[in-house]
Amino acid sequence: MNFNGSIYAFSKELKLLIGTFIIVLSIGFFSGLLFVEETSSSNPAGIEEQYLGNETDEDAEVMKFKKSEQEMLTLVHNHILSMSIIFFLVGMILNTCQFNKKLKLFLMIEPFLSVVLTFGGLFLLWQGMLWMKYIVMVSGFLMTLTYGISVGIILFQLTRNKTVEL
């Protein structure tokens, strides 16, 4: 099996495996975003409150406390490791797709930068660099956008039959 080849040349069975993997992976990825929305309201103030707490806000509906160092290190460690694997696998599959090489390279590399900025940014926010909440929002959005575009390209090309000259 040649992974340097085109996704169009893959067997039906391999295409089905890749498609199923991408769909299940996407369910997990996007359900994680629902969790982010539920816990931080996907805005800078909500992100800050999620990690630094809201003990001083007497009107808060839900009391939140500043995360411990152990909680933050666990969050950063788990997310950077798992998302690196996710984006490596998606990038490897995306590499077999046929489209603009510069865009492909961007979609393959950018998520790694966003992972470091998002989760490193959360740790720096927790350490008191409050402006990092904006970096976290932008990098998280960009990570999600590149994931969605990459998955869309992969699924689109998996469903197309194209004659490939070998």
Average pLDDT over residues 89-107: 97
**Is the Cβ–Cβ distance between 62 and 140 less than 8 Å?**
no
Provide the pLDDT for residue 41. Answer: 66
For residue 143, what are its two tokens? 């990570």
Helix (H, G, I), strand (E, B) or coil at 53: strand
Provide the pLDDT for residue 42. Answer: 74
Q: What is the pLDDT of residues 35-94, one digit of tens each?
A: 888 877 678 888 988 899 888 888 878 888 999 999 999 999 999 999 999 999 999 999
Burial 48-70 (b: 16+ CB within 10 A, else e): bbbbbebeeeeeeeeebeebeee
Predicted model pTM: 0.88
The answer to whether residue 166 scores a pLDDT higher than 70 is: no
Provide the pLDDT for residue 46. Answer: 87
The answer to whether residue 4 scores a pLDDT higher than 70 is: no
The secondary structure of the chain in percent helix, strand, coil, rounded to multiples of 5, reads 75, 0, 25
The Cβ of residue 163 has, within 10 Å, a number of other Cβ atoms equal to: 6
Spatial distance between the Cα atoms of 29 and 113, rounded to a whole number of angstroms: 17
**pLDDT band, residue 1 (cuts 50/70/90):** very low
Q: What is the helix (H) or strand (E) element at residue 126, kind and residue range? A: helix 101-126
Question: Amino acid identity of 24?
Answer: V
For residue 157, what are its two tokens? 């090309």
Q: What is the pLDDT of residues 113-157, one digit of tens each?
A: 999 999 999 999 999 999 999 999 999 999 999 999 999 999 999
